[in-house]
Amino acid sequence: MGYVEKLKGDYYNSYLIADKNKVYGIVRKSEGESYIFKRGDFDNIISTPFGKVAVAICYDSRRRHFYANVKDCKISLILFPHGSPNNPKNEKAERKVNDFFCNSYAQAFGVPVCYVNSVGKMDFMLGKTGKMMLNAGFRLNGLSKIYYSGTPIKTDIQEAIGIDIDLIPKERSKDIKFYGDNISKGNFLFRNLILKPDIKAGIKFYEEMKNSLNPSL
């Protein structure tokens, strides 16, 4: 389950794994949306009865620090929960990117990789990046997929997909190549001239809002 976590005046974009009796652990998005969430170098492993699960929330799944946190772990499953907007007129390109980084992890670790993305209208986002995506008509296009072979599970829920497999902890068998801190080359100008300054402005905005709302902290 993905949720908003509040702790000591800070807000985190978080994800937890639980059953009806116990919460097994949480993961926070290291590169959370800077205008509204606390960012940091957070862990990505949750220990469960069926082994260790590696979880990277949205953009973290494409970043080197996630790989660095899990590459030496024996894991059973990789989860990539997303709320990622993209151009609905170019789903083939979006799928190509998803296939690339998900298959990179599936081939390196030999375990199921679950890419899950929301479906629907993109909400308002602060900052230049959010404004650019809204103006371009971006939406959350779904395209959820399990990167592993198994017996399909049929459900009555349209958005639900599944396969029946045995989860077996495995060690990484090959390296994953990165370009700097990114798993793909991407748009150099956008990343450096728009995204980086936007993140910096967001961090400043977040800290100012936090201090104004929690003067005692």
* Full pLDDT tens readout for the chain, 217 residues: 999 999 999 999 999 999 999 999 999 999 999 999 999 999 999 999 999 999 999 999 999 999 999 999 999 999 999 999 999 999 999 999 999 999 999 999 999 999 999 999 998 999 999 999 999 999 999 999 999 998 999 888 877 899 999 999 999 999 999 999 999 988 889 999 999 999 999 999 999 999 988 776 6
- CB of 30 within 8 A of CB of 120? no
Show me where the domains of the chain are located.
2-213
Q: Does domain 2-213 have CATH number 3.40.50?
A: no
Measured in degrees and rounded to the nearest 5, phi and psi for residue 36 equal -130, -15
Distance of CA 188 to the CA centre of its chain: 21
